[in-house]
Amino acid sequence: MAFDRKTLVIPDKTLFDEAVIVTKGDVVIGDRSLLRFGVHTDGRIFVGEHAIIDGNLDSPHDIRVDIFSTIGGDVRSGGNVYLGEKTKIKGALSLKGDLDVGDSVEIEKGFEAKGWINIRNPVPMVIYIFVYLMQLLKMGRSEEIERILEELEQNDGDTIPISESFLFLPNNSIMSISNSKVEGNLQVGKESKLLGNYDVKGNVSVDDKSEIFGTLKATGNIFVGKQVKIHGNIASMAMVNITEQVNIIGNISAEEILLSKTASIQGTLHAKKGISFIDSSKEQATEKVKRFENDVDVVDEVKELLE
């Protein structure tokens, strides 16, 4: 599944506890998102604007929280902390690096910083741009204005540099035990453990050996990898693909269901366009024939022996 800004990404070996998400790599929480968990990671944490996080934030590196966001617990950082204007922390703040805070930041239970403390009230960048454009208008530089607006539009979709493994919660998303919602896709990595019911306006992909305690509901396709266990129902308006040695403790409903003969379903199956059984051995044999015809089979076999 290709990544985009509307895809909820859960990296490999992520563990959902009752109150905290334990993961590896950077964590990015989008604007206007609601996260009913805390976050513990070995990477950095980025929180967007107007976001609400109920639990603690814990990272050995930098933590950045944008304007008007609220953290319901403590914030602990082994690096620097950046807090935007009108950010609110309902717990305590502790950090080993520098603290950079905007105007009207609230930290209810106090803070401890071992580095420099910088309190700022900068003029928003949009004001600088507005003043500059007004000056260009007075000078009759309409061509220059069009060039600047085009550059701003082109740079609007730029990505930020983050780690290869990362957790990403898109803008306007909700993640909780009772009801999680995302306007795009859901991508779950290998050997992860998730809590909650997920309502996805897109496709769902659950990688091998992961476990989900909750339901999956999607408007798009749902793919369930090998040895996955799901304690809940699966519902799709498109296709559901259940691969080898999957255990579903619940019902499955979809337009079409592809089911491995080694999968275990402890519930009912309902598919408007029927249920097809997958034979993995036949699929592998067909794939080998295709690879042999393309002269890549022998090369890959030698590569595997060398490894």
Q: What tens digit of pLDDT does each residue of 125-177 get? A: 555 566 666 666 667 666 765 666 666 555 554 455 667 789 999 999 999 99
For 265-289, how does the pLDDT look when each residue is reduced to its tens digit (9 = 90+)?
A: 999 999 999 999 987 655 554 455 4
Q: Is 278 in contact with 296 (CB distance < 8 Å)?
A: no
67 and 139 housed in the same domain: no
268 and 184 housed in the same domain: yes
Please indicate, yes or no, if residue 193 is contained in any of the structural domains. Answer: yes
Please indicate, yes or no, if residue 79 is contained in any of the structural domains. Answer: yes
115 and 135 housed in the same domain: no
Please indicate, yes or no, if residue 305 is contained in any of the structural domains. Answer: no
Please indicate, yes or no, if residue 238 is contained in any of the structural domains. Answer: yes
Mean pLDDT of 275-304: 56
pLDDT of res. 303: 43
129 and 101 housed in the same domain: no
Domain that includes residue 233, residue range: 177-280
89 and 147 housed in the same domain: no
Please indicate, yes or no, if residue 227 is contained in any of the structural domains. Answer: yes
Does the pLDDT at position 1 exceed 90? no
Does the pLDDT at position 292 exceed 70? no
187 and 273 housed in the same domain: yes
Please indicate, yes or no, if residue 41 is contained in any of the structural domains. Answer: yes
Please indicate, yes or no, if residue 303 is contained in any of the structural domains. Answer: no
pLDDT of res. 4: 74
pLDDT of res. 164: 79
Please indicate, yes or no, if residue 300 is contained in any of the structural domains. Answer: no
Q: How many domains does the chain have?
A: 3
Cβ-Cβ contacts under 8 Å for 115 (sequence gap 6 or more) = 80, 95, 96, 97, 98, 99
Strands (E), 48-145: 52-53, 57-59, 63-65, 70-71, 75-77, 81-83, 88-89, 93-95, 99-101, 106-107, 111-113, 117-119
End residue of a domain, out of 69, 94, 119: 119
For 169-186, how does the pLDDT look when each residue is reduced to its tens digit (9 = 90+)?
A: 999 999 999 899 999 999
